[in-house]
Each structure stands twice: as structure tokens, then as C-alpha cells.
Structure 1
Amino acid sequence: MIVLTDTVDASADRVLDLIARRFGGVVGLDPARVEIDREHGRLAYQGGWWYRGEYEVTEEAGRTRVTHRVFNVAGRGSRWAVPLANKFFIGFRDRTTAGFRELLREAGQSN
């Protein structure tokens, strides 16, 4: 549904740690699952009835590339409803992009 990618002046470990902290304390009514694969620089957060966000963090030419993908993982019978429902959540893409930019800004700050 959405793919965002950019680079930041921070180590891959720092970026992955920051993402893990952001999603490690998520509390909500729906069960959520966080999967972290540090060896391959990946983190996934899945929650609610349709949302899965995946981050891929790789070192590239002295910088770190961060790619964020949002997937519709609703079941076959309700998959069609996600784009319709998101039309009512006006600004979803803008909020997702703003959150991604904030993540990169925070990751690029010195320790």
C-alpha cells in the first residue's frame, strides 16, 4: 500500500534499535505482534485487522538505508474493505510519511 525509503547518517543498529523501542511498548485492544530479525536488519509490526508494517535497515555507502512498507494483510473476505476504510482515514499516507521522516530525523541526531 505504501513504500517509503531514504538514507540517514546513523548506524543500522541505531536505527533498528530506535524502531524496536517505538514498537516494543505498543499497547492496544487488538493483539499485536512484533518480529525482529537483527541479523538481516528487519522489523515487522502487525496489528489490527489489516495492518502490517515492515522496516528494512541496511548499511549503504557509509549511510543507512531505511525502507518502510505497509501491507494490507486482511483476510480474503475483508481485504477489499481496507482501501475503502482508509478513504475515511483521510491523511493516512501523510501521517505515515511524517512518522517515517520523524524516525529518520531522530535516528540522525547525535547520541
Structure 2
Amino acid sequence: MSKFPNKRWDKITSNLAESFNSWVRKERHHSVIHFVHEHRNKLGTLLHKHAEEMKNWKQLVGPNIEKKLKENISRSLSMVVYPMTNKFLVKIGNANISVDLLARECTCQYW
């Protein structure tokens, strides 16, 4: 029996291991010291590249997150939100949805 009752965890673990193995494909055949040195250099180069790319961002978030935020904002324009005690009532057309952010509960059952 799997140590993870939910099969999704097996896939996440497997994908994580596969991703790491793919990342260190060339380095993993070296000695431990050489592997750590090569991995550190490779990671440092990647982090520097990402830091340089971040300098071109126009917002505080990256372009992919900015696109998702804009999509969510445009989808939410038809919603009316009423604050209640520790919860929010969200009206979407004729539907009323109760949302509790602290408990991460919603009557829409999406959470």
C-alpha cells in the first residue's frame, strides 16, 4: 500500500524527483563534491538570470501573475460583496454565496 492514500501525492513526489533528476542530469554522475559545486554554480546562474528579468517588471508581480490578476478582476466585476460578521456574502446574479476567508470555507464548495 502506498504511504500516501491520495494518489495525487505520489504523482507530486514522482514529478518532483523527475524534475530534479532532469535538472541535474549531467551533474549527477560526478563525485559528491563536484556535484555540489556544479549544482551551486548552475543554481546561482539561474537565480541571477531571474533577478535580471525581474528588473524589467512593470508591476510588483511577474507578467504571468499580472495576467491572472487582470482575468480575475474582470470576472469579478459582476459580483457584489457584502461584509458580514467574520464572513462575506457574495452575490453573483441570483446566487448568494457565503465566504469565510479565515476558515477557507465557501458555500459554492469550490474550496
**TM-score bracket for this pair, using the shorter chain length:** under 0.3
**Could you say which structure has the higher strand fraction?**
1
**Could you say which structure has the higher helix fraction?**
2
Q: With the length of structure 1 as denominator, give the TM-score of the two structures.
A: 0.26
> Larger Rg: 1 or 2?
2
Q: With the length of structure 2 as denominator, give the TM-score of the two structures.
A: 0.26
